[in-house]
Chain A
Amino acid sequence: MFKLLEGPQTLGRGRLFWSCFVAVLAGALAYPLFADSYDVGNFAYFLIWIFMALGLCLMWGYGGMLSFGQTLFFGIAGYGYGVLAINMGGGTATIAALVLAVVLAMIAAGVLGYFMIWGGINGIFFGIVTLSATLVLAFFLGQTAGPEWHIGPARLNGFNGMKGMDPLTVGDFYIEGSALYYVMVALIVIVYLALRMLVNSGIGNVIVATRENPQRAEMLGYDVRKYQLLTFVIGSGLAGLSGALYTSWGQFITPSSIGLPAAAMPIVWVAFSGRSDLTATLVGSFLLLFGFQTITVYSQQAALVLMGALLLATVMLAPQGFVLGIGKLAADWWHGRRRRDDGAVMAEAGRLRSEES
Chain B
Amino acid sequence: MSAELFSLFYQFADVFAFLILSAAGLAIVFGMMGVINMAHGEFIMCGAYVTVGLVNLGVPLAVAQILAAVTAGLIGVLVEFLVVRRFYKRPLDSLLATWGLSLIVTQSMLLIVGSAVRGIGTPEGSFVIGGYTFSTYRLVLFGCAVAVLAGLYIIFMKTRFGVIARATMQNAAMARALGARTGRIYAISFGIGTGLAGLCGALYAPTMTLIPTMGATFVVESFVTVVIGGANVLLGTAPAAVFLAMIRMALNASYGQIIGQIGMLVAVILIIRVLPEGLSSVLVRRGR
Contact = CB atoms under 8 A, between A and B. Distances in A.
Interface of A: 66, 112, 115-116, 118-125, 127-129, 131-133, 135-136, 139-140, 143, 259-261, 264, 267-268, 271, 299, 301-302, 304-305, 307-316, 319
Interface string B217-233: 00110011011000000
A264 B106 CA distance: 13
Given A124-B92, A308-B103, A115 B258 contact: no
A305 B108 CA distance: 7
A135 B93 contact: no
B274 interface: yes
Contact of A136 (B99, B103, B261): B261
Nearest to A123: B92
Number of chain B interface residues as a range: 35 or more
B121 interface: no
Contacts of B261: 136, 139-140
Main secondary structure on B side of the interface with A: helix
Given A301-B108, A305-B111, A124 B36 contact: yes
B216 A267 contact: no
A128 B223 contact: yes
A308 B111 contact: no
A139 B263 CA distance: 13
Given A261-B103, A305-B108, A315 B97 contact: yes
B216 A260 contact: yes
B251 interface: no
A139 B258 contact: yes
A299 B93 CA distance: 28
Contacts of A267: 96, 99
A128 B227 CA distance: 8
A135 B268 CA distance: 14
A261 B212 CA distance: 12
A319 B90 contact: yes
Nearest to B272: A119
Contacts of A139: 220, 258, 261
Nearest to B215: A260
B118 interface: no
Contacts of B174: none
A311 B95 contact: no
B101 interface: yes
Q: Which 6 A-B pairs have the closest CB atoms?
A: A308-B103, A311-B100, A312-B100, A308-B104, A304-B107, A119-B273
Contacts of A140: 258, 261-262
Contact of B269 (A112, A143, A314): A112
Given A135-B220, A319-B90, A129 B107 contact: no
Given A139-B258, A267-B99, A315-B97, A125 B213 contact: no
A268 B262 CA distance: 27
Contacts of B106: 260-261, 304
A115 B111 CA distance: 40
Contacts of A315: 87, 93, 96-97, 100
Interface string B31-45: 000101000000000
B4 to A, nearest CB: 28
A313 B273 CA distance: 36
Contacts of A125: 227, 272
B83 A127 contact: no
Interface string B261-280: 11001001110111010000
A302 B276 contact: no
6 contacts: A66-B92, A115-B273, A123-B91, A127-B36, A132-B220, A140-B262
B111 A124 contact: no
